[in-house]
Amino acid sequence: MPLSRSLSITSLSGLFPAWEDDELPMEDLMLFEVAWEVTNKVGGIYTVIQSKAKVTVDEWGENYYMMGPYFEHNFKTQVEACVPPNPVIQKAMDALINNGCQVHFGRWLIEGSPYVILFDIGSAAWNLDRWKGDLWETCHIGLPYHDREANDALILGSLVAWFFKELTDHLGDTPNVISHFHEWQAGPGLILSRSRNIPMATVFTTHATLLGRYLCAGNVDFYNNLDKFNIDKEAGERQIYHRYCMERAAVHCAHVFTTVSQITAVEAKHMLHRKPDVVTPNGLNVKKFSAMHEFQNLHSTNKTRIQEFVRGHFYGHLDFNLDRTLFFFIAGRYEFSNKGADIFLESLSRLNYLLRVHRNDLTVVVFFIMPAKTNNFNVESLKGQAVRKQLWDTAHTVKEKFGKKLYESLLTGNIPDMNTILDRDDLTIMKRAIYATQRHSLPPVTTHNMLDDSEDPILFNVRRIGLFNSRNDRVKIIFHPEFLSSTSPLLPMDYEDFVRGCNLGVFPSYYEPWGYTPGECTVMGIPSVTTNLSGFGCFMEEHVSDPAAYGIYIVDRRFRSAEESCNQLTQFMLSFCQQSRRQRIIQRNRTERLSDLLDWRYLGRFYTHARHLALSRSFPDKYKMDNKGPLKTEGFRYPRPASVPPSPSASLHSTPHHSDEDDDDDEPYNEEEEAERDRLNIKAPFMLGSVPEGKKKQPGESGN
Listed by start position, the domains of the chain span: 26-279, 295-378+444-597, 383-438
In this structure, what DSSP letter does residue 47 have?
H
432 or 244, greater pLDDT: 244
Mean pLDDT of 504-519: 95
Backbone phi, psi, residue 419, to 5°: -80, -20
CB contact at 8 A, 538 and 532? yes
User: What does the pLDDT average to over 688-698?
Assistant: 37
Residue 291 burial by Cβ neighbours in a 10 Å radius (0-12, 13-18, 19+): middle
The pLDDT tens digits for 625-649 are 765 554 544 545 667 776 665 544 4
pTM of the predicted structure, to 2 decimals = 0.84
How far, in Å, CA of 635 to CA of 246, rounded? 32
pLDDT at 678: 57
Is 295-378+444-597 in the same CATH topology as 26-279?
A: yes
Burial class (CB in 10 A: 0-12, 13-18, 19+), 256: buried
Long-range contact set of residues 88-91: C-beta below 8 Å, sequence gap at least 24: 88/167, 88/170, 88/171, 89/65, 89/117, 89/167, 91/166, 91/170
Q: How would residue 685 be classed by pLDDT, with cut points 50, 70 and 90?
A: very low
Q: Does 8 score more than 90 pLDDT?
A: no
Classify 327 as helix, strand or coil.
strand
pLDDT average, residue stretch 116-141? 95
Q: What is the mean pLDDT of residues 607-619?
A: 93
> Per-residue pLDDT averaged across 279-287, rounded?
90
pLDDT, mean of residues 351-355? 96
Task: Extract long-range pairs of 617-621: CB within 8 Å, 24+ residues apart.
Answer: 617/201, 617/255, 617/256, 618/199, 618/200, 618/201, 618/202, 618/255, 619/176, 619/201
Distance separating alpha carbons of residues 16 and 597, to the nearest angstrom: 9
Of the candidates 497, 492, 520, 498, the residue with the CA atom closest to the CA atom of residue 507: 520
What is the pLDDT, as a whole number, of residue 149? 95
Convert the pLDDT of each residue in 221-254 to its tens digit: 899 889 999 999 999 999 999 999 999 999 999 9
Q: What is the pLDDT of residue 668?
A: 58
Whether residue 180 contacts residue 205, with contact meaning beta carbons closer than 8 Å, is answered with: yes
DSSP string, 584-625: HHHHHHHHHHTGGGGBHHHHHHHHHHHHHHHHHHH-TTT---
pLDDT tops 70 at residue 380: yes
Classified by CATH at the fold level, domain 26-279 comes out as: Rossmann fold (3.40.50)
Inter-CA distances, 455 with 7, 377, 506, 593, Å: 48, 19, 24, 42
pLDDT of residue 673: 67
Model confidence at 662: pLDDT above 70: no
Q: What's the CATH code, domain 295-378+444-597? A: 3.40.50.2000
648: amino acid identity, one letter: P
Q: What is the pLDDT of residues 539-552, one digit of tens each?
A: 999 889 889 999 99
Give pLDDT, residue 425: 80
What is the rounded average pLDDT of the residues 402-412? 83
Reply yes or no on whether the pLDDT at 703 is more than 50: no
DSSP, residue by residue, 521-570? HHHTT--EEEETTBHHHHHHHHHBS-GGGGTEEEE--SSS-HHHHHHHHH
The reported pLDDT for the residue numbered 674 is 64
Q: Which amino acid, 95?
A: A
pLDDT computed for residue 519 by the predictor: 94
- Is the separation of the CB atoms in 593 and 12 below 8 Å? yes
For the segment 89-99, the average pLDDT, to the nearest whole number, is: 96
Amino acid 7: pLDDT: 31
Average pLDDT over residues 518-536: 95
Q: Is residue 177 scored above 70 in pLDDT? A: yes
Say yes or no to pLDDT of 405 above 90.
Answer: no
Q: Is the pLDDT of residue 155 over 60?
A: yes
Percent of the chain with pLDDT over 90: 67
The confidence band for 406, taking pLDDT boundaries of 50, 70 and 90, is confident
Nearest to 52 by CA among 62, 60, 290: 60
pLDDT band at 683 (very low <50, low <70, confident <90, very high): very low
* Neighbour count for residue 311 (Cβ, 10 Å): 17
Query: Is the confidence at residue 9, as pLDDT, over 90?
Result: no
Q: pLDDT-based confidence at 296, cuts 50/70/90?
A: confident
* pLDDT exceeds cutoff 50 at 523: yes
d(Cα 40, Cα 671) in Å, to the nearest integer? 42
Q: Is a pLDDT exceeding 50 seen at residue 680? A: no
> What is the rounded distance in angstroms from the CA atom of residue 355 to the CA atom of residue 353?
6
State pLDDT tens for residues 262-273: 999 999 999 999
pLDDT for the residue numbered 590 = 92
Residue 116 phi, psi (nearest 5):
-130, 140
Structure confidence at residue 696 (pLDDT): 39
φ, ψ of residue 293 in degrees (nearest 5): -75, -5
Q: What is the mean pLDDT of the segment spanning 563-567?
A: 96
Q: What is the pLDDT of residue 285?
A: 86
Mean pLDDT of the chain: 86
In this predicted structure, the answer to whether residue 154 has a pLDDT above a threshold of 50 is yes
pLDDT computed for residue 642 by the predictor: 65
Mean predicted confidence (pLDDT) in 121-138: 95
